[in-house]
């Protein structure tokens, strides 16, 4: 697989640049998810991305316990774990309790990174989507961030950050934050290159993590336009790689970290094979010219409500 580089963010131990995502579609049962995660640890993954909303915290926790039992890792510190505050907890007094709930699901004493999942608040817990319009309200960034800072100060997480924040939302956050966000996790792949947001984050010292780097192939929030892209396919064939590897390598060469999900033994290994080769300038330029389109929208999750569409439209 080649040696996996790590990124140092504040007080965290190094974050392996490629992590395993755990948002499965169709949703995986606890046993399936747990077994896939143990397999990923066996294959060499040390960075895992979960969220309260994915219901994958419990299987991830069980997989970590199992990996420790099996001796696949010697201590929990060898793993980098990210989880996320769901929108229904985006209220000053609910942030620390939500963090504790996630730790309980994970059977862990701390996570390495805690992110605000989306810059919006839901007034109720919902099990069904689309969410009724009257339950979707703006999030008070200042007070929610105070709760996130509490989580870090209390030692529940090594670092805090955000996800799906636009330049505008980051500006708002930076103007009130005592601890600046370490990370902004956003969709990024050859068809949605996030040029503007990446430049903004670089200037402000915020590290970008790319999600859905394969276009979320086969899920309800993505499609096959990356893994079946002609331009990527041509490069892949010429280099003896797969379109997925070409996409992941292209994302990696932009200085960001990546979370990508596969619960398939062969594909999770395939996705690790991006560190012992590089794209030529000509290949990169070809990929850079691909027409852009945003894949993952909040509207596809919560419904096409005005506030949600506003968030989807911001870059």
Ligand X SMILES: NC(=O)C1=CN([C@@H]2O[C@H](COP(=O)(O)OP(=O)(O)OC[C@H]3O[C@@H](n4cnc5c(N)ncnc54)[C@H](OP(=O)(O)O)[C@@H]3O)[C@@H](O)[C@H]2O)C=CC1
Ligand Y SMILES: O=C[C@H](O)[C@@H](O)[C@@H](O)[C@H](O)C(=O)O
Work out the angle at residue 73's Cα, subtended by the Cα atoms of residues 70 and 78, and round it to the nearest 5 degrees: 155
260 binds, among ligand X, ligand Y, none (CB under 5 to 8 A by kind): ligand X
192 binds ligand X (CB under 6 A): no
Q: Which of 159, 215, 229, 256 binds ligand X (CB under 6 A)?
A: 215
54 catalytic? Reply is yes
22 binds ligand X (CB under 6 A): yes
- 309: its two tokens: 């569409």
Applying the rule CB under 6 A, the residues between 34 and 93 that interact with ligand X are: 49
- Tell me 192's DSSP state: B
Cβ of residue 49: shortest distance to ligand X, in angstroms?
Answer: 4
Work out the angle at residue 185's Cα, subtended by the Cα atoms of residues 168 and 295, and round it to the nearest 5 degrees: 85
Distance CA 248, CA 190 (A): 9
114 binds ligand X (CB under 6 A): no
DSSP annotation string for 226-244: TTT-HHHHHHHHHHT--HH
Dihedral (Cα; 82, 88, 91, 93), 10-degree rounding: -80
Minimum CB distance to ligand Y smaller for 22 or for 271:
22
Minimum CB distance to ligand X smaller for 61 or for 222:
222
263 binds, among ligand X, ligand Y, none (CB under 5 to 8 A by kind): ligand X
Cβ of residue 276: shortest distance to ligand X, in angstroms?
Answer: 17
| Helix, coil or strand: residue 307 | helix
Minimum CB distance to ligand Y smaller for 55 or for 249:
55
Q: How many residues does the chain have?
A: 315
| Catalytic annotation, pick one of 45, 54, 211, 252 | 54
At which residue do the structure tokens 């200042």 appear? 142
Q: Which is nearest to 160 in space by CA: 176, 169, 143, 147?
A: 147
270 binds ligand X (CB under 6 A): yes
Question: Cis link prior to 179 (omega < 30° from 0)?
Answer: no
- In this structure, the number of other CB atoms found within 10 A of the CB of residue 217 comes to 19
Minimum CB distance to ligand X smaller for 67 or for 268:
268
16 binds ligand X (CB under 6 A): no
275 binds, among ligand Y, ligand X, none (CB under 5 to 8 A by kind): none
What pairing do the DSSP bridges indicate for beta strands 121-122 and 136-137? antiparallel
217 binds ligand X (CB under 6 A): yes
Minimum CB distance to ligand X smaller for 78 or for 223:
223
| Contacts to ligand Y by CB under 6 A | 23, 51, 53-54, 221, 296, 301
Residues involved in catalysis: 54
User: Contact residues for ligand X (CB under 6 A)?
Assistant: 21-23, 49, 117, 163-164, 185, 211-219, 222, 227, 242, 244, 259-264, 267, 270-271, 296
């Amino acid at each position: 697989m080649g040696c996996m580089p790590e990124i140092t963010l504040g007080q965290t131990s190094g974050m392996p640049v490629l992590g395993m995502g755990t948002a499965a579609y169709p949703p995986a049962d606890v046993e399936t998810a747990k077994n896939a995660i143990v397999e990923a640890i066996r294959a060499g993954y040390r960075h895992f991305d979960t969220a309260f909303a994915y219901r994958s915290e419990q299987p991830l926790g069980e997989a970590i316990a199992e990996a420790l039992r099996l001796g696949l890792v010697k201590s929990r510190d060898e793993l980098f774990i990210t989880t996320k505050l769901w929108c229904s907890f985006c209220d000053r007094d609910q942030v620390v309790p939500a963090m504790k709930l996630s730790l309980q699901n994970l059977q862990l004493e701390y996570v390495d990174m805690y992110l605000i999942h989306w810059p919006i608040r839901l007034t109720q817990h919902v099990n069904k989507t689309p969410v009724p319009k009257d339950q979707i309200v703006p999030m008070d960034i200042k007070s929610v961030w105070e709760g996130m800072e509490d989580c870090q100060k209390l030692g529940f997480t090594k670092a805090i950050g955000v996800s799906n924040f636009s330049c505008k939302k980051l500006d708002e956050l930076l103007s009130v934050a005592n601890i600046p966000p370490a990370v902004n996790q956003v969709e990024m792949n050859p068809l949605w290159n996030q040029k503007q947001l990446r430049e903004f984050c670089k200037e402000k010292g915020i590290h970008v993590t790319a999600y859905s780097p394969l276009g979320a192939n086969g899920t309800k929030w993505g499609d096959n336009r990356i893994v079946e892209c002609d331009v990527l396919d041509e490069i892949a064939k010429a280099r003896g790689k797969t379109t997925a590897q070409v996409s992941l390598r292209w994302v990696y060469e932009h200085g960001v970290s990546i979370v990508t999900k596969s619960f398939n033994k062969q594909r999770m290994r395939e996705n690790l094979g991006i560190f012992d080769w590089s794209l030529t300038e000509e290949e990169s330029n070809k990929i850079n010219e691909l027409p852009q389109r945003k894949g993952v929208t909040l509207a596809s999750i919560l419904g096409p409500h005005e506030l949600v569409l506003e968030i989807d439209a911001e870059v």
